[in-house]
Amino acid sequence: MNSTVKDVMTTSVVTVGETAGYKDIIIAMIGRRVSACPVLDGTGRVIGVVSEADLLLKELGPEHFDGPGASLRATGRRGEHAKASGMTAAELMSTPPVTISPAASVADAARLMHQYGVKRLPVVGADGQLAGIVSRLDVLSVFTRPDDQIRDDVMQVITGQFALNPDTFGVTVASGVVTVTGQLGSRSAVLRLTDAIRHVEGVVGVRDRARYPAEHPAENAES
Protein backbone atom coordinates (compact mmCIF):
# COMPACT_ATOMS: atom_id res chain seq x y z
CA MET A 1 0.00 0.00 0.00
CA ASN A 2 1.33 3.44 -0.94
CA SER A 3 2.02 5.90 1.85
CA THR A 4 -0.13 8.95 2.44
CA VAL A 5 1.01 12.37 3.57
CA LYS A 6 -0.15 11.48 7.08
CA ASP A 7 2.36 8.60 7.13
CA VAL A 8 5.40 10.79 6.44
CA MET A 9 4.51 14.27 7.71
CA THR A 10 5.96 15.96 10.81
CA THR A 11 3.35 16.77 13.44
CA SER A 12 5.53 18.99 15.64
CA VAL A 13 5.37 22.19 13.59
CA VAL A 14 6.90 25.60 14.24
CA THR A 15 4.15 28.16 13.63
CA VAL A 16 3.69 31.88 14.16
CA GLY A 17 0.61 34.02 14.53
CA GLU A 18 -0.28 36.63 11.94
CA THR A 19 0.73 39.43 14.33
CA ALA A 20 4.16 37.95 15.15
CA GLY A 21 6.97 40.47 14.63
CA TYR A 22 9.94 40.13 12.29
CA LYS A 23 12.46 39.38 15.05
CA ASP A 24 10.12 36.92 16.78
CA ILE A 25 9.75 34.96 13.55
CA ILE A 26 13.52 34.72 13.12
CA ILE A 27 13.99 33.62 16.73
CA ALA A 28 11.37 30.89 16.30
CA MET A 29 12.93 29.62 13.07
CA ILE A 30 16.50 29.64 14.40
CA GLY A 31 15.43 27.99 17.64
CA ARG A 32 13.99 24.99 15.82
CA ARG A 33 16.35 25.12 12.82
CA VAL A 34 13.62 25.42 10.20
CA SER A 35 13.70 27.51 7.03
CA ALA A 36 9.98 28.34 6.93
CA CYS A 37 6.85 28.14 9.06
CA PRO A 38 3.08 28.36 8.58
CA VAL A 39 1.29 31.49 9.67
CA LEU A 40 -1.96 30.92 11.61
CA ASP A 41 -4.89 33.23 12.15
CA GLY A 42 -6.72 33.54 15.45
CA THR A 43 -8.70 30.35 14.82
CA GLY A 44 -5.65 28.22 14.04
CA ARG A 45 -6.16 28.14 10.28
CA VAL A 46 -3.19 28.38 7.93
CA ILE A 47 -3.30 31.70 6.07
CA GLY A 48 0.24 31.79 4.67
CA VAL A 49 3.84 30.63 4.96
CA VAL A 50 6.80 32.81 5.88
CA SER A 51 10.22 31.61 4.71
CA GLU A 52 13.84 32.66 4.86
CA ALA A 53 13.41 34.04 1.33
CA ASP A 54 10.59 36.28 2.53
CA LEU A 55 12.63 37.49 5.50
CA LEU A 56 15.75 38.18 3.43
CA LEU A 57 13.88 40.87 1.51
CA LYS A 58 14.15 43.02 4.64
CA GLU A 59 17.94 42.91 4.29
CA LEU A 60 17.65 44.29 0.74
CA GLY A 61 15.40 47.13 1.85
CA PRO A 62 12.63 48.92 -0.09
CA GLU A 63 15.20 50.99 -1.99
CA HIS A 64 16.30 47.81 -3.79
CA PHE A 65 12.94 47.84 -5.56
CA ASP A 66 12.90 51.61 -6.23
CA GLY A 67 16.40 52.29 -7.56
CA PRO A 68 18.02 51.81 -11.00
CA GLY A 69 16.98 48.56 -12.68
CA ALA A 70 13.97 48.15 -10.40
CA SER A 71 11.63 47.43 -13.30
CA LEU A 72 13.78 44.47 -14.34
CA ARG A 73 14.07 43.12 -10.82
CA ALA A 74 10.36 43.49 -10.27
CA THR A 75 9.48 41.08 -13.08
CA GLY A 76 7.71 38.11 -11.50
CA ARG A 77 8.21 39.55 -7.99
CA ARG A 78 4.94 41.31 -7.30
CA GLY A 79 4.56 41.97 -3.61
CA GLU A 80 8.27 41.81 -2.73
CA HIS A 81 8.43 45.59 -2.25
CA ALA A 82 5.70 45.34 0.39
CA LYS A 83 7.46 42.42 2.07
CA ALA A 84 10.70 44.40 2.26
CA SER A 85 8.78 46.98 4.30
CA GLY A 86 6.80 44.43 6.30
CA MET A 87 7.09 44.02 10.05
CA THR A 88 4.58 41.29 10.92
CA ALA A 89 4.00 37.75 9.70
CA ALA A 90 0.83 38.85 7.88
CA GLU A 91 2.87 41.41 5.92
CA LEU A 92 5.84 39.12 5.26
CA MET A 93 4.20 35.81 4.43
CA SER A 94 3.55 34.28 1.02
CA THR A 95 -0.16 33.79 0.48
CA PRO A 96 -2.37 32.00 -0.35
CA PRO A 97 -0.55 28.98 1.10
CA VAL A 98 -0.15 25.80 -0.91
CA THR A 99 -1.53 23.11 1.41
CA ILE A 100 -2.34 19.42 1.21
CA SER A 101 -4.65 16.94 2.95
CA PRO A 102 -3.31 14.24 5.30
CA ALA A 103 -5.09 11.66 3.13
CA ALA A 104 -3.35 12.74 -0.09
CA SER A 105 -0.70 10.45 -1.54
CA VAL A 106 3.01 11.16 -1.23
CA ALA A 107 3.09 11.36 -5.03
CA ASP A 108 0.47 14.14 -4.90
CA ALA A 109 2.68 16.03 -2.44
CA ALA A 110 5.67 15.68 -4.76
CA ARG A 111 3.62 16.99 -7.71
CA LEU A 112 2.45 20.04 -5.74
CA MET A 113 5.98 20.83 -4.55
CA HIS A 114 7.26 20.65 -8.12
CA GLN A 115 4.35 22.62 -9.56
CA TYR A 116 4.66 25.51 -7.12
CA GLY A 117 8.41 25.33 -6.50
CA VAL A 118 8.07 24.96 -2.72
CA LYS A 119 10.13 22.87 -0.32
CA ARG A 120 7.35 22.05 2.14
CA LEU A 121 3.56 21.92 2.40
CA PRO A 122 1.42 22.64 5.45
CA VAL A 123 -0.92 19.68 5.99
CA VAL A 124 -4.47 20.81 6.68
CA GLY A 125 -7.38 18.68 7.88
CA ALA A 126 -11.00 18.87 6.76
CA ASP A 127 -11.68 21.36 9.57
CA GLY A 128 -9.05 23.71 8.16
CA GLN A 129 -6.76 23.23 11.15
CA LEU A 130 -3.04 22.56 10.79
CA ALA A 131 -2.28 18.84 11.13
CA GLY A 132 1.43 18.85 10.29
CA ILE A 133 3.95 19.73 7.62
CA VAL A 134 5.51 17.63 4.88
CA SER A 135 8.91 18.43 3.37
CA ARG A 136 10.86 17.26 0.35
CA LEU A 137 12.90 14.96 2.59
CA ASP A 138 9.70 13.45 3.98
CA VAL A 139 8.54 12.73 0.43
CA LEU A 140 11.89 11.20 -0.49
CA SER A 141 11.77 8.93 2.56
CA VAL A 142 9.61 6.45 0.62
CA PHE A 143 12.76 5.47 -1.29
CA THR A 144 14.30 4.09 1.90
CA ARG A 145 11.89 1.13 1.95
CA PRO A 146 13.65 -2.25 2.36
CA ASP A 147 14.08 -4.23 -0.85
CA ASP A 148 12.13 -7.21 0.49
CA GLN A 149 9.07 -5.03 1.14
CA ILE A 150 9.30 -3.59 -2.35
CA ARG A 151 9.54 -7.10 -3.82
CA ASP A 152 6.46 -8.22 -1.88
CA ASP A 153 4.48 -5.31 -3.34
CA VAL A 154 5.80 -6.02 -6.83
CA MET A 155 4.68 -9.64 -6.54
CA GLN A 156 1.21 -8.45 -5.49
CA VAL A 157 1.06 -6.37 -8.67
CA ILE A 158 2.09 -9.38 -10.72
CA THR A 159 -0.26 -11.92 -9.17
CA GLY A 160 -3.13 -9.58 -8.31
CA GLN A 161 -3.37 -6.73 -10.77
CA PHE A 162 -2.09 -8.78 -13.74
CA ALA A 163 -3.17 -12.27 -12.57
CA LEU A 164 0.13 -13.75 -13.79
CA ASN A 165 1.79 -16.95 -12.66
CA PRO A 166 4.83 -15.91 -10.58
CA ASP A 167 6.59 -19.16 -11.51
CA THR A 168 6.96 -18.07 -15.14
CA PHE A 169 9.46 -15.29 -14.39
CA GLY A 170 11.65 -13.90 -11.64
CA VAL A 171 11.79 -10.64 -9.71
CA THR A 172 14.82 -9.33 -7.85
CA VAL A 173 15.22 -6.01 -6.06
CA ALA A 174 18.56 -4.38 -5.25
CA SER A 175 18.76 -0.86 -3.78
CA GLY A 176 15.24 -0.19 -5.03
CA VAL A 177 15.97 -1.29 -8.60
CA VAL A 178 13.62 -4.07 -9.76
CA THR A 179 14.80 -6.59 -12.37
CA VAL A 180 12.16 -8.69 -14.12
CA THR A 181 13.18 -11.88 -15.93
CA GLY A 182 11.26 -14.73 -17.56
CA GLN A 183 8.69 -14.82 -20.34
CA LEU A 184 5.44 -12.97 -20.95
CA GLY A 185 2.92 -13.15 -23.75
CA SER A 186 3.87 -10.00 -25.68
CA ARG A 187 5.99 -6.90 -25.69
CA SER A 188 2.94 -4.77 -24.88
CA ALA A 189 2.28 -6.97 -21.82
CA VAL A 190 5.86 -6.42 -20.65
CA LEU A 191 5.50 -2.66 -21.05
CA ARG A 192 2.25 -2.57 -19.08
CA LEU A 193 3.77 -4.66 -16.30
CA THR A 194 6.98 -2.62 -15.99
CA ASP A 195 4.98 0.63 -15.98
CA ALA A 196 2.85 -0.69 -13.09
CA ILE A 197 5.98 -1.79 -11.21
CA ARG A 198 7.49 1.70 -11.55
CA HIS A 199 4.55 3.05 -9.55
CA VAL A 200 5.19 0.72 -6.60
CA GLU A 201 6.32 2.81 -3.65
CA GLY A 202 10.08 2.86 -3.20
CA VAL A 203 10.95 1.63 -6.70
CA VAL A 204 13.94 3.56 -8.02
CA GLY A 205 13.94 1.95 -11.45
CA VAL A 206 12.91 -1.14 -13.43
CA ARG A 207 15.19 -3.33 -15.57
CA ASP A 208 13.23 -5.22 -18.19
CA ARG A 209 14.92 -8.56 -18.86
CA ALA A 210 11.74 -10.41 -19.80
CA ARG A 211 11.38 -12.40 -23.02
CA TYR A 212 8.27 -12.59 -25.19
CA PRO A 213 7.22 -14.10 -28.56
CA ALA A 214 8.32 -11.79 -31.37
CA GLU A 215 5.29 -9.91 -32.67
CA HIS A 216 7.65 -8.14 -35.05
CA PRO A 217 11.16 -9.27 -36.05
CA ALA A 218 12.98 -6.39 -34.36
CA GLU A 219 11.05 -6.41 -31.06
CA ASN A 220 13.20 -8.78 -29.04
CA ALA A 221 16.36 -6.96 -30.10
CA GLU A 222 15.66 -4.38 -27.37
CA SER A 223 15.77 -6.84 -24.47
- Residues 84 and 127 grouped into a single domain: yes
Q: What proportion of the chain, given as a percentage, has pLDDT over 70?
A: 85
Structural domain boundaries, residue 22: 5-141
The edge-to-edge listing of strands for the beta sheet with 177-183 is 169-174, 177-183, 205-211
Which residues lie closer than 8 Å to 157 by C-beta, 6 or more apart?
A: 193, 196, 197, 200
Range among 80-89, 105-114, 162-171, 178-187 with highest mean pLDDT value:
105-114
pTM above 0.85, yes or no: no
What does the pLDDT read at residue 45?
A: 93
What does the pLDDT read at residue 123?
A: 97
Mean of the per-residue pLDDT values of the chain: 85
What does the pLDDT read at residue 72?
A: 40
Number of structural domains in the chain: 2
Out of 84, 116, 141, pick the residue that ends a domain: 141
**143-194 tens-digit pLDDT:** 999 999 999 999 999 999 998 888 887 899 999 999 998 887 788 888 899 9
Torsions phi, psi for 175 (to 5 deg)? 55, 40
What does the pLDDT read at residue 134?
A: 97
Out of 81, 113, 141, pick the residue that ends a domain: 141
List Cα–Cα distances, 86 to 22, 45, 90, 127, in angstroms: 8, 21, 8, 30
Report the CATH number that the domain containing residue 209 is assigned in CATH: 3.30.1340.30
**184-220 tens-digit pLDDT:** 778 888 889 999 999 999 999 999 888 777 644 444 4
Which residues lie closer than 8 Å to 24 by C-beta, 6 or more apart?
A: 16
Out of 104, 122, 141, pick the residue that ends a domain: 141
